[in-house]
Amino acid sequence: MRLPKTVAALIEVFEKLPGIGPRTAARLTYFLVNQPDSLAKQLAAAAASLKTGTKLCGVCKNIGATNPCEICNDSGRDRAKICVVEEPQGLLAIENSQAFKGLYHVLHGRIAPTAGLGPDDIYLKELVARIKSGKFKEVVLATNADTEGETTAMYISKLLAATGVKLTRIAQGIPTGGDIEYADELTLRRALEGRRKY
């Protein structure tokens, strides 16, 4: 059986999105076929206007509604601290935690030699230029806690060593609600290494 053209077309677009395989793409598409037309229309409208309202911040490389972005423009922020994240989603997660009130730098990627991604593929020299301006006292490295995130943090720390800026790395340990019994060895080791006075 040949699929209706419009069904095949949407499946094909969905398959181009990360983490969506052929089966999920078909499931999402048929879900939309079975919903009132308005949901597909909402999706169409939102996708069509996605880029018109978004700008890459020229300062921190966050995706915002303005350039410079809302955070870079916010005079209430601690402008001596800068938090380095891999992606805008990481920035959002930290903002939602309300535990950081400084500025950000979004790398838009990570150093991943096995995937052919080197220092020049992310906004790294822009970060170095910002730090060398001397305006920052602390750089919080909040790249992910996986191999590539660690590599990236390590690379940045070496690049910035000569500037004398204080470098910190977000803590690794047992996640809140986590069970020690089920934690992997590396997480436990990091949790022990990072233990603090109680």
Q: Which is nearer to its own copies, 87 or 159 (CB)?
A: 87
x/- contact string, 120-159, with its own copies (CB under 8 A)?
----------------------------------------
d(C-alpha 32, C-alpha 138), whole Å: 48
Task: Identify which of residues 106 and 131 has a Cβ nearer to its own copies in the complex.
Answer: 106
Taking the least distance from each CB to its own copies, the nearer of 91 and 156 is 91
Q: Partners of 102 in the beta sheet?
A: 78
> Does 174 engage in binding with its own copies (CB under 8 A)?
no
Residue with tokens 């992310």: 122
Applying the rule CB under 8 A, the residues between 102 and 121 that interact with its own copies are: 108
Site residues for its own copies per CB under 8 A: 1-7, 9-10, 12-14, 16-20, 23-24, 26-34, 37, 39-55, 63-65, 69-71, 87-89, 91-92, 95, 108
